[in-house]
């Protein structure tokens, strides 16, 4: 039975790695003179910008995510209950939508700057204007404010399940800086996981960085491919980036190879420290600002713009079918990704070799969506042609949406594998052994022990994947079949044409679809069994 | 998943059976092409299935190979059209209707691609400046320091402009020019073409490069009252090269090599250059018609006549790679 | 033999956790694996259960080679140190867990619930049970499928000291009544001596000595085995003319002259006397049933004396000590 699970994870890993392998083939076609041009004109700036962006976003998401997680788990202050779940809301806003909203809100001739000038008595933007949002700082702030929930989620879970006993111990030892001395070191692995997810998202983000004029390596992939019709060159840059990311992830794992944080005996909530007066106000503010900037402001902007548009031109009749397509595709992909992620995580638990394969399934997260889709393209097309030749209906790309699902899977397996693994990590190995020695095989043990005990983790993973799939644009755009539009492709169609105002309604619906699972995720009841480690 | 996969699979199979259908792969946004396709369906009875793609249209058709459902490939920018031909994704079309309607310079000699509409890379000028004539070369003039707005140097529209500049003046001068334009920028290169009008209205810059048809779209009021405000702050000028005309680009289409519905595909192309369709291009999209018998929208014509540049489109396409590399070399977007 | 291990070895990275361990367990026998942490006793248990596999050697149960058999097909019961009760199942469902494919599952569960007297617990969930109650349920769960062998990993270490002895006795009585074959792991020497029919002392992945409790306690085969079960007074010396000199006089040693030896003297073998070796009382500690006295000998070294008698000695008091030769063991010095 163990062998069946290993075969399963091997199949999933192969599926995820195929597009990367296909990129290798494309890259091997060679691209003359690419690297000398890159080295002379592109790499110095692109590398610097990429590193500055990653460092900035990394620090921002770590500080905001961990800080707010600590505030809401270890303290009590007015509004905490609402903020605790509201802090997740920025997850619902795709970075490209946030970038577009902020650009407009803070436009030199937009509402905010006009208002500031009116107060200060300036007449026009030449006399006074705020620094351009289209800058590295703007990009870091924007991505950080949308991506910090990845860290918030993991850090908060860590504080909930691990911290109480240790923190109380520290307090009894007279330690006042409990956060810095105990909670932070404790949360380090969780923060590392969250930060690496956020950084990979940031690195792959073409929409926001391009919008904001930050020339990352990802933008170079695009200009090489699109402006110079040099796909092998683009594949080479993408693969070099992938190698970089894999290297970084491995370094991070190596750096904490000796850290073992066994699941604490019996998790219970930390005794909340009730804050009063200005401290309470400050805590509330610290948690409210990320929500306001990362979610409330762009969402309000979208509501206003969508309202204007509906009043002006009504709702496009295709919007509902696009919303339906979005939900159907995201649901199907979520089921698939969750299934494969669970297989990978459980195979990893059963066998060391499974663990290696489980790592391999997360590779796709480090590849930009379009690049991944380009890698997938020849494979799914060849498969479909085979299907047609065999007299079967083509369901991948020539006639169905299978390719989109595969792309979502390749892209988001990292979330599923990692999330399910961390859910399983809370189940002591003695449960597996007890079940096995009581006559249940690996599969029975999975069904009767791991499935019920890790349900909260599975639900969380499913919700995250669903939101990500509903937001996904580049692979959907390239791989969907004829006549299928989703909200994201509709939005992009309008944005590419420059008719942003038309896009506001679709953007609002995407955010709304993303919000529902996020709220569910935050409202999820605590584990049902207090004894669950 | 089943629902979607089977549903679309069935629609495709049904499409292959019923001859009155064709499949369009387009990088032109649905909002732009829908009015044209609706009119085509109304006049011919042929249903059009579309997929809107952006990056990767040629890669997708290539991968689908001889099973590709694509009949018509529609895109903007001469470089993209030439790329389709170079990859062997198109087939020659012999059609008297097309040849009569489209000037020779606006179609491939072998009938591999056809232009459907033209757009000028134009100048938006603050109204109070009273400027009516302009050379592209002037963009690098220090007179305009801190007064120019433009989108990314890697955008196909700007790459084509630089490519045309290379054709006129050679690569070295083009590099100096591009660096000069960069020095004159009022803000980072980026945003869209309409942002140029908005930024001029806001007083951020005085002049900017953008496509001609956006002026018509904004003036039409379809974008809402705000955009009317923006466009009313500017005037459209058709700049020229010192020794040439206004840089134009095209939107065009080709019949896919393995088109399962070839006759319908040709019918669509022929329809798109008919006076009826060209009128839609002009009146709904505010592009310049490729068919000389159709009139330019009055919203555009009011700004004066446009004299297309002498450099051929294929020459522009050839310089595209060099132009893109120049933009990176001078750090245009930094 | 019910269970037989033949030259079993297991290696984890650079650590040889078990090397060439052979062991036989008879039907109805209770065998205690004992040793310091890291000696390989738990690894051995995991190999028998099948949750880990040996690198070399064979394990057979009822004459059948089960070395490669997955745990679910071994009919081996396993009781974990943390009990590993499934938190999402009631005590009854935990007990029924191993009986899924049995036709008379309910009857079997009722039988074991009655035997262990835990009828009042079965409706509860694990987090509603005290430590002792959890131990009972875990035992019931492991025994319910009537395994050929029951493996117990530190089964009493999670219990309060006050409860431990009572629960241990009860548990052993139940196991005896069921005629269960048991392999139990403990790090507690006293528990090992009192619980098992046979004690297997392990060290660094090897069996040091195996035998009945009184054998390993009274006749340890090495200084290590001796020291593990008893907190000896130790003197170093060299054999001269067939004997080694100690503060309590020369003691005959069966080693060649010139051999460096260590002389081990049980604290219980020392007693105050009218004459003998002079010493001063350093401290007296009452440890419940026994009393421990630390004394500094006039010739320098310190010794401990344990006795169930109250000697009534006071700190600083001078006494004479005598040693009972039956409480003396001699091993070569290098045999650490």
Predicted confidence band of residue A259 (pLDDT cuts 50, 70, 90): low
> Do residues C140 and C53 touch, judged by C-beta distance below 8 A?
no
CA separation, residue C279 to residues A38, C299, C304 (Å): 88, 8, 11
Residue that is last in its domain, among A230, A257, A292:
A292
Contacts of C109 in chain A (CB under 8 A): none
The answer to whether the Cβ–Cβ distance between A437 and C81 falls below 8 Å is no
Substitution target in A350, A431, A432, A439 with the highest count of C β-carbons within 10 Å is A439
Q: What's residue C153's pLDDT?
A: 92
- Please tell me whether residues A437 and A503 are part of one structural domain: yes
Nearest-5° angle of CA A67, CA A71, CA A76? 175
Q: What's residue B16's pLDDT?
A: 42
Q: Is A330 on the interface with B (CB under 8 A)?
A: no
Q: Is the pLDDT reported for residue B19 higher than 70?
A: no
Nearest-5° angle of CA B265, CA B266, CA B270? 120
Distance between CA B24 and CA B73 in Å, rounded? 6
pLDDT digits (tens, 9 = 90+) for C230-276: 888 888 888 888 888 888 888 888 888 888 888 999 998 888 888 88
How far C158 CA sits from the closest chain A CA (Å)? 12
Ordered DSSP codes for B155-216:
SHHHHHHHHHHHHHH-HHHHHHHHHHHHHHBSS-S-S-HHHHHHHHHTTS-SEEEEETHHHH
Whether A152 is covered by a domain: the verdict is yes
Distance between CA A197 and CA A58 in Å, rounded? 10
Distance between CA C293 and CA C314 in Å, rounded? 10
Classify residue B166 as exposed, middle or buried by CB count within 10 Å of its CB (0-12, 13-18, 19+).
buried
Q: What's residue B308's pLDDT?
A: 92
Q: Is B5 on the interface with A (CB under 8 A)?
A: yes
> Do residues C114 and C106 touch, judged by C-beta distance below 8 A?
no
Q: Percent of chain C beyond pLDDT 70?
A: 99
3-state helix, strand, coil in chain A (%, to 5): 75, 0, 20
Domains of chain B: 2-118+248-296 (3.40.190.10), 120-246+304-329 (3.40.190.10)
Residues C3-227, CATH architecture: 3-Layer(aba) Sandwich (3.40)
Q: What's residue C185's pLDDT?
A: 94
**Subunits in contact with chain A (3 or more CB pairs closer than 8 Å):** B, C
Classify residue C109 as exposed, middle or buried by CB count within 10 Å of its CB (0-12, 13-18, 19+).
buried
How many Cβ pairs closer than 8 A exist between chain A and B?
205
Q: What's residue C35's pLDDT?
A: 92
> Do residues C98 and A439 touch, judged by C-beta distance below 8 A?
yes
- Please tell me whether residues A512 and A425 are part of one structural domain: yes
Q: Is B159 on the interface with A (CB under 8 A)?
A: yes
Q: Is C13 on the interface with A (CB under 8 A)?
A: no
User: Quick one: which of B152, B158, B161, B149 has its CA closest to B195?
Assistant: B149
Return the CA Rg of chain A: 24
Residue that is last in its domain, among A292, A327, A358:
A292
Mean pLDDT to the nearest integer, A302-324: 86
Classify residue A246 as exposed, middle or buried by CB count within 10 Å of its CB (0-12, 13-18, 19+).
middle
Q: What's residue B46's pLDDT?
A: 94
The answer to whether the Cβ–Cβ distance between C127 and A440 falls below 8 Å is no
Mean pLDDT to the nearest integer, A444-462: 89
Contact C/A (≥3 CB pairs under 8 Å): yes
Q: Is C50 on the interface with A (CB under 8 A)?
A: yes
Q: What's residue B111's pLDDT?
A: 95
Q: Is B51 on the interface with A (CB under 8 A)?
A: yes
Q: Is the pLDDT reported for residue A222 higher than 60?
A: yes
- Please tell me whether residues A6 and A59 are part of one structural domain: no
Contact A/B (≥3 CB pairs under 8 Å): yes
User: Quick one: which of B326, B293, B300 has its CA closest to B174?
Assistant: B326
pLDDT digits (tens, 9 = 90+) for B308-331: 998 988 899 999 989 999 998 998
Neighbouring CB atoms inside 10 A of A180's CB total 10
Q: Which two tokens stand for residue A75?
A: 């303290």
Phi and psi for C16 in degrees, rounded to 5?
-85, 100
Q: Is the pLDDT reported for residue A100 higher than 90?
A: no
Provide the angle, in degrees to the nearest 10, between the axes of the packed helices A402-425 and A318-350. Answer: 50
Contacts of A480 in chain B (CB under 8 A): 51
Return the higher-pLDDT residue of B238 and C323.
B238
Residue that is last in its domain, among A237, A261, A292:
A292
Q: What's residue C334's pLDDT?
A: 66
Phi and psi for B39 in degrees, rounded to 5?
-65, -40
- Please report, for chain C, how many H helices and E strands are present, in that order: 8, 20
Q: What's residue B13's pLDDT?
A: 36
Q: What's residue A256's pLDDT?
A: 61
Distance between CA A418 and CA A423 in Å, rounded? 9
Predicted confidence band of residue B49 (pLDDT cuts 50, 70, 90): very high
Whether A70 is covered by a domain: the verdict is yes
The answer to whether the Cβ–Cβ distance between B69 and A499 falls below 8 Å is no
Whether A479 is covered by a domain: the verdict is yes
Q: What's residue C37's pLDDT?
A: 87
Q: Which of C76, C98, C127 sits opposite A529 (nearest CB)?
A: C127
Q: Which of A430, A436, A449 sits opposite C71 (nearest CB)?
A: A436
pLDDT digits (tens, 9 = 90+) for C8-21: 999 988 889 999 99
Q: What's residue A27's pLDDT?
A: 87
Return the CA Rg of chain B: 20
Contacts of C49 in chain A (CB under 8 A): 433, 436-437
The answer to whether the Cβ–Cβ distance between A452 and C88 falls below 8 Å is yes
Contacts of A374 in chain B (CB under 8 A): 56, 59
H-type helices in A148-274, by residue range? Answer: 149-172, 178, 184-204, 207-211, 217-222, 231-255
Q: What's residue A235's pLDDT?
A: 87
Q: Is the pLDDT reported for residue C184 higher than 80?
A: yes
DSSP code of residue C335: -
CA separation, residue A381 to residues A327, B85, C38, C77 (Å): 25, 21, 57, 53
Whether A452 is covered by a domain: the verdict is yes
Q: Is A501 on the interface with B (CB under 8 A)?
A: yes
Q: Which of A226, A484, A501 sits opposite B55 (nearest CB)?
A: A226
- Please tell me whether residues A24 and A58 are part of one structural domain: no
Predicted confidence band of residue C287 (pLDDT cuts 50, 70, 90): confident
The answer to whether the Cβ–Cβ distance between A474 and B55 falls below 8 Å is yes
Distance between CA C96 and CA C105 in Å, rounded? 7
Q: What's residue B41's pLDDT?
A: 95
- Please tell me whether residues A492 and A525 are part of one structural domain: yes
Nearest-5° angle of CA A380, CA B255, CA A29? 45
Distance between CA B1 and CA B14 in Å, rounded? 19
Q: Which two tokens stand for residue C304?
A: 């401990």
- Please tell me whether residues A255 and A336 are part of one structural domain: no
Classify residue B191 as exposed, middle or buried by CB count within 10 Å of its CB (0-12, 13-18, 19+).
buried
The answer to whether the Cβ–Cβ distance between A399 and B154 falls below 8 Å is no
Q: Which chain B residue shows the shortest CA-CA distance from A490?
A: B30
Distance between CA A365 and CA A46 in Å, rounded? 21
Q: Is the pLDDT reported for residue A213 higher than 80?
A: no
Q: What's residue B45's pLDDT?
A: 93
Contact C/B (≥3 CB pairs under 8 Å): no
List the domain range (segments joined by +) for residue A441.
1-30+315-533
CATH number at residue A287: 1.10.3720.10
User: Quick one: which of A374, A326, A132 has its CA closest to B59?
Assistant: A374
C residues 209-268 lying closer than 8 A (beta carbon) to A: none
Q: What's residue B17's pLDDT?
A: 43
Q: What average pLDDT is seen over chain A? A: 83
Q: Which of A430, A435, A530 sits opposite C82 (nearest CB)?
A: A430
- Please tell me whether residues A387 and A501 are part of one structural domain: yes
Which ipTM score applies to this complex? 0.83
User: Quick one: which of B162, B109, B173, B212 has its CA closest to A228?
Assistant: B162
Q: Is the pLDDT reported for residue A262 higher than 50?
A: no
- Please tell me whether residues A261 and A188 are part of one structural domain: yes
Whether A215 is covered by a domain: the verdict is yes
Q: Which of B3, B66, B187 sits opposite A328 (nearest CB)?
A: B3
Q: Percent of chain A beyond pLDDT 70?
A: 90
Whether A297 is covered by a domain: the verdict is no
Return the higher-pLDDT residue of A70 and A244.
A70
> Domain tally for chain A?
2
Q: What's residue B245's pLDDT?
A: 94
Whether A42 is covered by a domain: the verdict is no
Q: Percent of chain A beyond pLDDT 90?
A: 23
Ordered DSSP codes for A180-202:
IIIIHHHHHHHHHHHHHHHHHHH
C residues 18-47 lying closer than 8 A (beta carbon) to A: 46
Predicted confidence band of residue B146 (pLDDT cuts 50, 70, 90): very high
- Please tell me whether residues A244 and A348 are part of one structural domain: no
pLDDT digits (tens, 9 = 90+) for A492-527: 888 777 777 778 888 999 999 888 887 777 666 554
pLDDT digits (tens, 9 = 90+) for C92-138: 999 999 998 888 999 999 999 998 889 999 999 998 999 889 999 99
How far C43 CA sits from the closest chain A CA (Å)? 13
A99 HSE (CA, 13 A, CB side): 27
Q: What average pLDDT is seen over chain B? A: 89
The answer to whether the Cβ–Cβ distance between A433 and C98 falls below 8 Å is no
Mean pLDDT to the nearest integer, B120-148: 94
Q: Quick one: three-class SS letters along B236-282? A: EECCECCCCCECEEEEEEEEECCCCCHHHHHHHHHHHCCHHHHHHHH
Predicted confidence band of residue A530 (pLDDT cuts 50, 70, 90): very low
Q: Which of C88, C145, C147 sits opposite A453 (nearest CB)?
A: C88
How far A8 CA sits from the closest chain C CA (Å)? 19
Weakest mean pLDDT among A38-42, A193-197, B266-270: A38-42
Mean pLDDT to the nearest integer, A231-235: 86
Where are the domains positioned within chain C?
3-227, 231-326
User: Quick one: which of A91, A105, A66, A24 has its CA closest to A191?
Assistant: A66
Q: What's residue A174's pLDDT?
A: 61
Query: Strand, coil or helix: what is C3?
Result: strand
Q: Which of A129, A325, A378 sits opposite B63 (nearest CB)?
A: A378
Q: What's residue A63's pLDDT?
A: 94
Q: Which of B69, B193, B194 sits opposite A398 (nearest CB)?
A: B69
CA separation, residue B333 to residues A211, A214, A458, B157, B182 (Å): 11, 8, 43, 14, 8
The answer to whether the Cβ–Cβ distance between A215 and B334 falls below 8 Å is yes
- Please tell me whether residues A104 and A233 are part of one structural domain: yes
The answer to whether the Cβ–Cβ distance between A496 and B54 falls below 8 Å is yes
pLDDT digits (tens, 9 = 90+) for B87-120: 999 999 999 999 999 999 899 999 999 999 999 9
> Do residues C10 and C17 touch, judged by C-beta distance below 8 A?
yes
> Do residues B70 and B64 touch, judged by C-beta distance below 8 A?
yes
How far B259 CA sits from the closest chain A CA (Å)? 14
The answer to whether the Cβ–Cβ distance between C141 and A438 falls below 8 Å is yes
Weakest mean pLDDT among A24-28, C8-12, C324-328: C324-328
């Amino acid at each position: 039975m163990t062998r069946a699970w290993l075969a399963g994870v091997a199949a999933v890993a192969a599926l995820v790695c195929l597009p990367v392998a296909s990129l290798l083939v494309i890259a091997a076609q060679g691209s003359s003179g690419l690297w000398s041009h890159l080295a002379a004109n592109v790499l110095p700036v692109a590398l610097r910008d990429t590193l500055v962006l990653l460092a900035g976003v990394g620090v921002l998401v770590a500080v905001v995510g961990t800080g707010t997680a600590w505030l809401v788990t270890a303290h009590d202050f007015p509004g905490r209950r609402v903020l605790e779940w509201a802090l997740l809301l920025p997850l619902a806003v795709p970075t490209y939508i946030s970038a577009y909203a902020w650009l407009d809100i803070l436009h030199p001739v937009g509402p905010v700057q006009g208002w500031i000038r009116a107060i200060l008595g300036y007449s026009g933007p030449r006399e006074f204007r705020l620094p351009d949002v289209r800058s590295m700082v703007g990009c870091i702030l924007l991505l950080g404010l949308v991506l910090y929930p990845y860290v918030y989620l993991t850090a908060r879970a860590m504080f909930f399940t691990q911290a109480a006993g240790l923190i109380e111990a520290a307090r009894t030892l007279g330690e006042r800086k409990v956060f810095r001395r105990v909670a932070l070191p404790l949360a380090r692995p969780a923060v590392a996981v969250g930060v690496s997810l956020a950084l990979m998202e940031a690195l792959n983000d073409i929409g926001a960085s391009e919008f904001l004029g930050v020339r990352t390596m990802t933008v170079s992939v695009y200009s090489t491919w699109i402006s110079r019709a040099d796909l092998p060159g683009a594949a080479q840059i993408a693969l070099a980036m992938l190698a970089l990311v894999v290297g970084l992830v491995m370094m991070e794992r190596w750096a904490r190879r000796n850290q073992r944080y066994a699941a604490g005996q019996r998790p219970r909530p930390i005794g909340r420290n009730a804050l009063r007066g200005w401290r309470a106000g400050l805590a509330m503010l610290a948690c409210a600002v990320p929500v306001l900037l990362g979610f409330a402001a762009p969402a309000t902007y979208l509501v206003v713009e969508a309202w204007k548009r509906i009043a002006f031109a009504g709702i496009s009749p295709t919007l509902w079918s696009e919303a339906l397509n979005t939900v159907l595709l995201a649901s199907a992909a979520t089921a698939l990704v969750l299934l494969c992620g669970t297989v990978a995580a459980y195979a990893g638990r059963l066998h060391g070799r499974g663990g290696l394969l489980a790592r391999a399934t997360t590779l796709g997260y480090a590849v930009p969506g379009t690049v991944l889709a380009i890698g997938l393209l020849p494979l799914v097309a060849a498969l479909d042609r085979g299907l047609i030749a065999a007299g079967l209906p083509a369901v991948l790309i020539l006639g169905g949406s299978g390719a989109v699902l595969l792309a979502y899977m390749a892209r988001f397996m990292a979330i599923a594998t990692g999330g399910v693994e961390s859910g399983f990590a809370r189940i002591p190995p003695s449960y597996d052994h007890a079940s096995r020695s009581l006559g249940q095989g690996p599969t029975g043990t999975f069904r009767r022990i791991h499935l019920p005990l890790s349900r909260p983790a599975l639900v969380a993973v499913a919700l995250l994947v669903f939101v990500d799939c509903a937001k996904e644009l580049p692979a959907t755009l390239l791989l969907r079949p004829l006549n299928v539009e989703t909200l994201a492709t509709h939005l992009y169609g309008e944005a590419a044409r420059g008719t942003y105002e038309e896009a506001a309604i679709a953007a609002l619906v995407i955010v709304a679809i993303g919000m529902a699972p996020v709220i569910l995720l935050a409202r999820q009841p605590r584990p049902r069994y207090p004894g669950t480690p | 998943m089943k629902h979607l996969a089977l549903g679309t699979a069935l629609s495709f199979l049904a499409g292959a059976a019923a001859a009155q259908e064709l499949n369009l792969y387009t990088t032109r946004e649905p909002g732009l092409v829908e009015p044209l396709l609706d009119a085509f369906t109304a006049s011919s009875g042929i249903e059009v299935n579309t997929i809107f793609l952006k990056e990767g249209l040629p890669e997708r058709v290539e991968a689908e190979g001889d099973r590709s459902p694509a009949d018509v490939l529609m895109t903007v920018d001469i470089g993209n059209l030439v790329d389709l031909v170079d990859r062997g994704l198109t087939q020659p079309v012999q059609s008297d209707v097309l040849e009569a309607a489209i000037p020779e310079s606006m179609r491939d000699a072998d009938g591999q691609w056809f232009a459907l509409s033209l757009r000028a890379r134009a100048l938006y000028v603050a109204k109070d400046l009273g400027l009516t004539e302009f050379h592209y070369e002037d963009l690098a003039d220090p007179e305009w320091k801190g007064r120019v707005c433009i989108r990314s140097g890697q955008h196909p529209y700007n790459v084509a402009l630089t490519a045309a500049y290379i054709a006129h003046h050679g690569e070295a001068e083009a590099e100096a020019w591009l660096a000069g334009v960069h020095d004159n920028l009022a803000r980072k290169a980026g945003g869209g073409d309409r942002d140029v009008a908005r930024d001029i209205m806001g007083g951020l810059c005085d002049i900017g490069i953008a496509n001609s048809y956006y002026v018509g779209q904004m003036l039409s009021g379809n974008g809402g009252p705000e955009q009317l405000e923006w466009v009313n702050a500017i005037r459209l000028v058709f700049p020229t090269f010192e020794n040439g005309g206004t840089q134009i680009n095209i939107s065009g289409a080709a019949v896919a090599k393995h088109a399962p519905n070839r006759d319908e595909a040709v019918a669509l192309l022929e329809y798109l250059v008919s006076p009826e369709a060209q009128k839609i291009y002009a009146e709904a999209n505010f592009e310049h018609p490729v068919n000389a018998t159709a009139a330019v929208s009055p919203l555009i014509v009011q700004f004066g006549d446009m004299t297309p540049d002498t450099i051929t489109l294929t020459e522009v396409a050839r310089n595209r790679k060099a132009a893109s590399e120049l933009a990176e070399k001078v750090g245009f977007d930094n | 033999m019910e269970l037989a291990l033949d030259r079993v070895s297991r290696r984890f990275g650079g650590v040889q956790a078990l090397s060439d361990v052979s062991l036989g367990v008879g039907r109805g026998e209770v065998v205690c694996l004992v040793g310091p942490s890291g000696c390989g006793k738990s690894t051995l248990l995991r190999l028998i259960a099948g949750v880990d596999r040996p690198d070399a050697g064979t394990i057979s149960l009822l004459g059948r080679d089960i070395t490669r058999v997955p745990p679910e097909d071994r009919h081996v019961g396993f009781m974990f140190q943390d009990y590993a009760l499934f938190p999402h199942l009631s005590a009854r469902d935990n007990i029924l867990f191993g009986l899924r494919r049995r036709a008379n599952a309910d009857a079997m569960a009722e039988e074991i619930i009655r035997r262990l007297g835990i009828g009042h617990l079965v409706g509860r969930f694990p987090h509603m049970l005290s430590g002792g109650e959890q131990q009972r349920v875990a035992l019931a769960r492991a025994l319910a499928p009537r395994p050929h062998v029951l493996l117990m990993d530190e089964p009493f270490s999670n219990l309060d000291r006050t409860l431990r002895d009572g629960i241990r006795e009860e548990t052993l009585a139940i196991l005896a009544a069921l005629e269960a074959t048991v392999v139990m792991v403990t790090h507690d020497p006293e528990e090992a001596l009192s619980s098992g029919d046979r004690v297997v002392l392990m060290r660094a992945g090897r069996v040091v000595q195996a035998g009945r409790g009184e054998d390993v306690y009274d006749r340890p085969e090495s200084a290590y085995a001796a020291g593990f079960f008893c907190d000896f007074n130790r003197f170093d010396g060299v054999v001269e003319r067939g004997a080694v000199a100690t503060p309590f006089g020369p003691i005959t040693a069966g080693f060649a002259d010139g051999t460096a030896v260590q002389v081990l003297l049980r604290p219980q073998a020392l007693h105050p006397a009218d004459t003998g070796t002079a010493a001063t009382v350093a401290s007296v500690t009452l440890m419940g049933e026994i009393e421990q006295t630390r004394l500094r000998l006039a010739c320098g070294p310190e010794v401990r004396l344990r006795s169930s008698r109250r000697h009534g000695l006071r700190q600083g008091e001078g006494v004479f000590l005598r040693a009972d030769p039956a409480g003396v063991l001699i091993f070569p010095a290098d045999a650490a």
